[in-house]
Amino acid sequence: MFTSLEPSYILHSRPYRESSLLLEVFGKAQGRVGLVARGARGPRSRWKSILQPFRPLLLSWTRRGEMGTLTGADQVASPPALAGDPLFCGLYANELLMHFLHRSDPHPGLFDHYSRLVTDLAAGSPTQPLLRLFEFQLLRAAGFGLQLDHEHGGREGIRADAWYVYLPESGPVRRDATSGQAEELVSGAALLELKSGEIGEQHLMELKMLMRKLIRFYMGGKTLKSQFLFLQS
CB distance 133 to 46 below 8 Å? no
Least confident of 28-37, 171-180, 197-206: 171-180
pLDDT, the chain, mean:
92
Q: Is residue 153 classed exposed, middle or buried when 0-12, 13-18 and 19+ CB atoms within 10 A define those classes?
A: exposed
Helix 204-218 × helix 127-141 angle, to 10°? 30
131 occurs within a structural domain: no
Integer Cα distance of 109 and 61 in angstroms: 22
CATH of the domain at 60: 2.40.50.140
39 occurs within a structural domain: yes
What pTM value is reported for the model?
0.92
HSE at residue 231, side-chain half, CA atoms within 13 A, is: 6
Q: What is the DSSP letter of 156?
A: P
Position 69 scores a pLDDT of: 97
65 occurs within a structural domain: yes
Position 183 scores a pLDDT of: 62
Q: Which of 91, 108, 113 is nearest to 229 (CA)?
A: 91
105 occurs within a structural domain: no
Q: Which domain holds residue 31?
A: 2-75
CB distance 164 to 180 below 8 Å? no
CA 210 to chain centre: 16
- Overall domain count for the chain: 1
Between residues 117 and 77, the one the model is more confident about: 117
CA distances (Å), origin 4, targets 38, 69, 115, 200: 17, 12, 19, 42
25-37 pLDDT per residue, tens = 999 999 999 999 9
Between residues 218 and 81, the one the model is more confident about: 218
